[in-house]
Amino acid sequence: MRFAPLAVLAALAAAPFALAQQVEPEILSLPNGMKFLLVPRYDQPNTVAAGWLAKVGSVNERPGITGISHFFEHMMFKGTDTIGTRDSGRDAEYRARQKALRDRINELTWTVQYDRFKKGEIADAWDPKFDTPELARLRADLRDLMDQQQGKAGEAEIKKLEAELAKCDESTLVGKQRAADVRKQLDALKEQQKALATIVKDEFDQVYTKAGGTGMNAFTSYDLTFYFINVPSNKFELWAWMESDRLDGSVFREFFSERDVVHEERRLRTESTPTGVFQEQFESMFWMASPYSWPVIGWPSDLNSYTMDEATKYWNTYYRPNNLVGIVVGDFDPAEAKRTITKYFSRLEPGTSAPPPVVTLEVEQRAEMRMDAEADAQPQVEVRYHTVPFQHKDSYALDVMSSILNGRTGRLYKSMVEGSKVASSARAAQDSRKYAGAFSFDAETKGDATPAQLEEAWYAELKKLQTEPVGEQELQKVKNQAMADSYRRLQSNFFLMIQLAMAESMGDWSEINKESAKIQAVTAEDIKRVANTYFAKTNRSVATYVRKAGEVAAVDPELAALPAPAQGMARQAAKKISEETDLAKLKEGLAQMEAQAGQVPPQMAPVIDFLRKKMTDRIAELEKAAK
């Protein structure tokens, strides 16, 4: 996955789609079924935020191909027969030979290795150390083909010769001759390596960057996949050609090697973080029937099992024009943009059938579920309830309810952080997805407090909402804040593009014009009603995290040195940084932090310095792992 600012996703997850002003895109519908939302705005001259939305996410998957939507996010940056290769014919030959080998590897694994695993003869059907001789040979042949295609053939021998060259004593006649011989061998190997390679690495990015494009990226969620970039206005035609080319001719280059990258992303994001695997388990427990139950990144055995045939079928179902929406916001001439879009995107072949509907709905939860985990993390708790999806009439009251609870002037901070001091941080959030929703409370302990105390403190706050109407002044304050946030988000072409994509993927782009009024219409009675409707004990799932018995909490001296009120926020931010796997994202975030460092209040300077160091350390860690 490429650069996708954490702040963007976090802001969108926590904030409503409401906008204080009306946005009226010009809508262009092509004969092949692809729709475009065009929003010309001239307050940010010479720049266009452009992207396209595929209405597909992990919710559209099934067991056996979980994570494939996210995997396509990786694949879509690998290029076409035009971009990303120096020889499309030989590159196609590589892909065909790799497919044949991988199909045979899958066949043997699903039969021989799975049978051995079920009998207890091996511990992991996919682990190469348990390979049969035939599997080991096939895997070696596949690796050799991938190395040739990527320009890595003979890498081990090249490193060996480079090491030998470094040891040559060229002050002697014998040493000089040996060095010359080694250089000759090195040159020959490198020439051979270059001759075998067909991939031009990162050419998609290079073309855009040379043209002044910035922030090229994509993200995959439960309900959507979105690809976007900022380009100069005079490069809009380049964007139309590039994006229509990848939608028309993506060849899934490096299909089999890229799964190793995704495995590493999964390891860093989930398996190597203190609570990652437990959060994944909690999700699967909470969503009993819904396809929201599996992780966006997918289950490990499914990542191993993707086939090119299955991928092609998925592509032809969900990445055809009838399931795509283009979004363009910024400084452009609408009439000219429509001509350009029609010229390039009309070449896309329409899908032969509509994507199948998601028919499995979440079942009613009839008893409380609990997960008690021991982790190397600050003791914490999450309490989650089944609620409602996007655009449901009660989602707006739940959003307002979370706003009343959140922030430094919100009820959770006042009662749990400042008041009883049992929490270093506490927050609530309504998560309205396309087919279902959830409301969560989570908090971390402070001092000697326990997760049980956090849980009881939450139930006390919830009880107040269920029995006492929210005061008029408190309610109006959060509504005013929602309006202010809406206005600020409207100022950015990029943020508006993202909001349109999110709303369109889950229901209708026009919701960004309607939701502000719906938020303003929420009453104290509405909040009291939803607090009593969705927050029954039988409808909740609870996850508690404690340290293993006898384990002493590791104290980060740099965190402990920060002002006490800022420690909870800083700990959470540091945790997100430690879980991030995208180097470009981290570097972009660090650059933004450096640029804004001089604008923060003096009391916050130590927090900025703390987070800057965490980002620098994480960048160094990932760069070292990539070598």
**Mean pLDDT score, 559-571:** 61
Q: Which H/E stretch holds residue 19?
A: none
Residue 559 is predicted with a pLDDT of 67
Residue 616 is predicted with a pLDDT of 84
Cβ count within 10 A of residue 335: 9
Whole-angstrom distance, CA of residue 107 vs CA of residue 99? 12
**Torsion sign over Cα 37, 40, 45, 46:** positive
Tokens of 529: 């009603």
Q: Is residue 316 part of a domain?
A: yes
Q: Can you tell me whether residue 54 is helix, strand or coil?
A: strand
Q: Is residue 58 part of a domain?
A: yes
Between 264 and 210, the higher pLDDT residue: 210
Judge if 236 and 283 occupy the same domain: yes
Q: Could you tell me what percentage of the chain is helix, strand and coil, using 3-state DSSP and rounding each to the nearest 5?
A: 55, 15, 30
Judge if 503 and 600 occupy the same domain: no
- pLDDT grade for 560, boundaries at 50, 70 and 90: low
Judge if 331 and 369 occupy the same domain: no
Judge if 267 and 405 occupy the same domain: no
Judge if 152 and 245 occupy the same domain: no
Domain count, the chain: 4
Residue 382 is predicted with a pLDDT of 97
Q: Is residue 310 part of a domain?
A: yes
Residue 569 is predicted with a pLDDT of 60
Judge if 108 and 209 occupy the same domain: no
Contact in structure between 259 and 303 (CB atoms under 8 Å):
yes
Domain final residue, candidates 196, 212, 227: 196
**Mean pLDDT score, 177-189:** 92
Residue 606 is predicted with a pLDDT of 73
Does residue 556 register a pLDDT over 70?
A: no
Judge if 434 and 502 occupy the same domain: yes
Judge if 178 and 219 occupy the same domain: no
Give me the percent of the chain exceeding a pLDDT of 90: 72
Judge if 496 and 524 occupy the same domain: yes
Give me the percent of the chain exceeding a pLDDT of 70: 90
Residue 327 is predicted with a pLDDT of 98
Does residue 627 register a pLDDT over 60?
A: no
Q: Quick: pLDDT tens for 220-246.
A: 999 999 999 999 999 999 999 999 999
Judge if 229 and 174 occupy the same domain: no
**Mean pLDDT score, 477-501:** 87
**Mean pLDDT score, 159-176:** 90
Q: Is residue 359 part of a domain?
A: no
Strand partners, 85: 199
Q: Can you tell me whether residue 169 is helix, strand or coil?
A: coil
Domain final residue, candidates 311, 345, 379: 345
- pLDDT grade for 610, boundaries at 50, 70 and 90: confident
Residue 482 is predicted with a pLDDT of 87
Contact in structure between 61 and 294 (CB atoms under 8 Å):
yes
135: number of CA atoms within 13 Å, CB side? Answer: 17
Does residue 18 register a pLDDT over 50?
A: no
Look at strands 225-232 and 47-54 and give their pairing.
antiparallel
Q: Quick: pLDDT tens for 26-55.
A: 999 999 999 999 999 998 899 999 999 999
Judge if 413 and 368 occupy the same domain: yes
Between 490 and 164, the higher pLDDT residue: 164
Residue 566 is predicted with a pLDDT of 58
Where residue 374 sits, what CATH number does that domain have? 3.30.830.10
**Mean pLDDT score, 92-119:** 96
**Mean pLDDT score, 85-98:** 95
Q: What is the DSSP string of 204-228?
A: HHHHHHHTT-EEEEEEE-SS-EEEE
Cβ count within 10 A of residue 448: 8
Judge if 306 and 325 occupy the same domain: yes
Over the chain, what is the mean pLDDT? 89
Residue 121 is predicted with a pLDDT of 97
Domain that holds residue 73: 31-79+203-345
Domain final residue, candidates 142, 176, 196: 196
